[in-house]
Amino acid sequence: MRIILLGAPGAGKGTQAQFISNEFNIPQISTGDMLRAAIKARTPLGLEAKKVMDEGKLVSDDIILGLVKERLNEADCENGCLFDGFPRTLAQAEALKNEGITIDHVIEIDVDDDEIIKRMSGRRVHLASGRTYHVEFNPPEQPGIDDVTGEPLIQRDDDTEETVRKRLEVYHQQTAPLIDYYRDREQHKEQDAPVFTTITGTGSVDDIRERILAALSN
């Protein structure tokens, strides 16, 4: 079973991806991990990618797709895989299709922007230990203070409202069009079109997990 998980940053993809990977005994494939592994192993594609990255340029879709094809040939992908952060654009999705790489399910975890901003901008962290709090959902005993050490908590730069809004803007421009792309392919009953399901990403982690399991069992 090959699965693509879509959703905005902060929608909870990471938590659910780990569960899907364990539940179906399939590897979670991240383009970042593939790039690092290929560069470390000094494969031809890895060396090509390193050259591009050393020049401060973006790695092309051709290189990424080549890495994906190589990764899918590895033994642990025999039962399928879960794509993490790929495809990121319509061009990458089309390239997957043109290469004959079939996908069985596409699941979108749908969460409103306002909810994501509330989730992410409310995070506070104790850097030394990695303990994480949330001003609303998991507050420390004293506002802004770590429960264990009494040291101040910080808000990571990635979690400020301004940064979260920018990340959401990029997502809506580049990645959100994939939702319409896969939905249209299923509605038009295209050959090899994956099953597309939108899951509501609010509620408990277990609730969302059950919705995903129900979708994947159809």
Q: Is 13 annotated as catalytic?
A: yes
Q: How far apart are CA 144 and CA 124, in angstroms?
A: 8
Question: Which residue in 2, 71, 88, 119 is the catalytic one?
Answer: 88
Tell me the backbone φ, ψ of residue 132, rounded to 5 degrees.
-120, 140
Q: Is 88 annotated as catalytic?
A: yes
Question: Which residue in 50, 118, 165, 167 is the catalytic one?
Answer: 167
Question: Which residue in 119, 123, 209, 211 is the catalytic one?
Answer: 123
Q: Is 42 annotated as catalytic?
A: no
Q: Is 2 annotated as catalytic?
A: no
Q: Is 124 annotated as catalytic?
A: no
Question: Which residue in 13, 119, 124, 209 is the catalytic one?
Answer: 13
- Residues taking part in catalysis: 13, 88, 123, 156, 167
